[in-house]
Structure 1
């Protein structure tokens, strides 16, 4: 019992900082609704990590709480994210839209992973960049990292890049809406299929009205649903590679992914009270904000500028690839 209390005592300073950062992100989002809350959380984490005095604390007394946030709180937030998904809403898109959305994710993932391997990104960075850009941003990076036991340092470049490119999309995609000849709902479909984070999708699609926003969110959540099978496949491959007996082998389906799928089924088949859904949404957003701030604190911009040019190139090419594939999906739909 004393060991349990000691562990929590070690975590509390870091958890207090991540909670403060989440509150700050909420405040910025409330003041400027067009700025996605989770993007603010990552950006604050990255900015904090560039201050020399702050880095001493981040790598010292705050580290246990930051590590707990980046792992356990992230996984809990992903489980709650499943309550946003109803299979009935996704089925309402029609089989053509569902099929093209799946194709966008699979092709973007495969293309980004192959490019990352081709340019020599180290370790699991190709897999993490592909997850972030093809599926659902920094949340997907954290989920894939948890399933494949990627180190925190391997997540730094992918998180920074997916946050940067997703933020750029908020400004760039609306400027291309009319030149590309898209209707409002077509624009919503394009945004949902091509922008990384759910908050960034909302910020980008809302300029075209409520109909565009509704389509964008459902298409985006269809991509989020693909997080489960893709993480499960990656975990299975990692399990097959873990044959040297060093430590426990990864689960075939990580527990938090099973929880995510269970939450989707609950949302689909159980009449969950609206008050519960609202509370779960607030909790999920807060937990992910805390987790993504913690992930952001692992980014060192100086190191990124000196050694991360290959990752930056892969991220930018992937961003264009996803947008192009998503545009093709709209035309086919």
Structure 2
């Protein structure tokens, strides 16, 4: 890109990106002092604060907004691509076919149950779809992928991301308290955590309270859910393609069609990038140092993206418009926790 074209872009996006990266640094610094609190949760919380404190609200709504929106959309997608380097198909297959079927059932049932509850409470279809995707698969990353496939506006992802992040944080405090009353072994607790907590970082924070054996199985079970992001996104993309074809046919029939003849991709390029990096990890082509660096970069990208999304949430608006969505989120959280517990007890006897 020529410099005379790049300079205006940097001027427009720079303030928001600098603010987001600075806030990410603060989030990681707090996480280093209080390891039990995930950096991703802190990033969302700092975004919420920046949008609702008079001193910073003007900045996040004004000059910094273009850069924050860019982070929430494009840095999120870059983070999803790098997420693929955490997934090894060999580790997933080592769980066994029963475990794979149970994890898939948890994802599908929690997705269907959440979507049904959301529609019952009359949430818009797009909001219902995003909440169902985020809670059943892998949190904010899944919401970003689904929004891209279904061409959902960036601003419509803000509330679902905030809800899935906050409910995942709730799990960090609640699930460890239930381990002993439910008489779970560390392995059973780890499987439960991996099957029911949303974000990978939240899974680690929750499972590590029960020791190394719980953490090991929790991460593998969680990443098995992450693998399902690709087929779910592809299915949603096929459905969107069908809707586009039908709409275009109706438009051609009545002469109202306005189209350049092109369709959006069934699977976005960044989801294909995610699959490519899953293959790289599974084939052993990435060195341990590369994986470590990629994991750190991914954390920075996602935290900056989550700050950008959180900075678009106005508490006053959330109170007026988000009550039903909060009920759906809590219902979904309890549903997936129940399904995940049942799956863990069957997987590990």
Normalization by structure 2: what TM-score?
Answer: 0.92
Map 1:1-333 → 2, pairs under 5 A: 1=2, 2-242=4-244, 243-244=247-248, 245=258, 249-333=263-347
Distance 2:142 2:31 in 1: 22
Count, aligned residues: 333
* Structure showing greater Rg: 2
Q: Deviations over 1:276-331 (max 9, x none)?
A: 11111111110011111101112112111112111011111100000000011012
Which sections of structure 1, spanning at least 5 residues, go unmatched?
none
**Secondary structure in structure 2 of the residue aligned to 1:44:** helix
Distance 2:177 2:319 in 1: 29
**Secondary structure in structure 2 of the residue aligned to 1:124:** helix
22-31 vs 182-191, greater mean Cα deviation = 22-31
**Secondary structure in structure 2 of the residue aligned to 1:7:** helix
**Secondary structure in structure 1 of the residue aligned to 2:73:** helix
Are the structure 2 counterparts of residues 330 and 275 from structure 1 closer, same or farther at C-alpha, using a change threshold of 3 Å? same
**How much is the aligned-residue C-alpha RMSD, in angstroms?**
1.4
Residue pair 2:149, 2:266 contacting (<8 A) in 1 also:
no
Are the structure 2 counterparts of residues 241 and 56 from structure 1 closer, same or farther at C-alpha, using a change threshold of 3 Å? farther
Residue pair 1:71, 1:146 contacting (<8 A) in 2 also:
no
* Moved >6 Å (runs of 4+): none
Cα offset, 1:75, TM superposition: 0.6
Q: Deviations over 1:234-267 (max 9, x none)?
A: 1222232234445753211100000000000000
Residue pair 1:193, 1:219 contacting (<8 A) in 2 also:
yes
Distance 1:144 1:300 in 2: 23
**Secondary structure in structure 1 of the residue aligned to 2:265:** coil
Are the structure 2 counterparts of residues 150 and 55 from structure 1 closer, same or farther at C-alpha, using a change threshold of 3 Å? farther
Distance 2:116 2:125 in 1: 13
Normalization by structure 1: what TM-score?
Answer: 0.96
Which sections of structure 2, spanning at least 5 residues, go unmatched?
249-257
Distance 1:175 1:201 in 2: 15
Q: Deviations over 1:111-161 (max 9, x none)?
A: 111111121112510011001110111221122112222223322221221
**Secondary structure in structure 2 of the residue aligned to 1:25:** helix
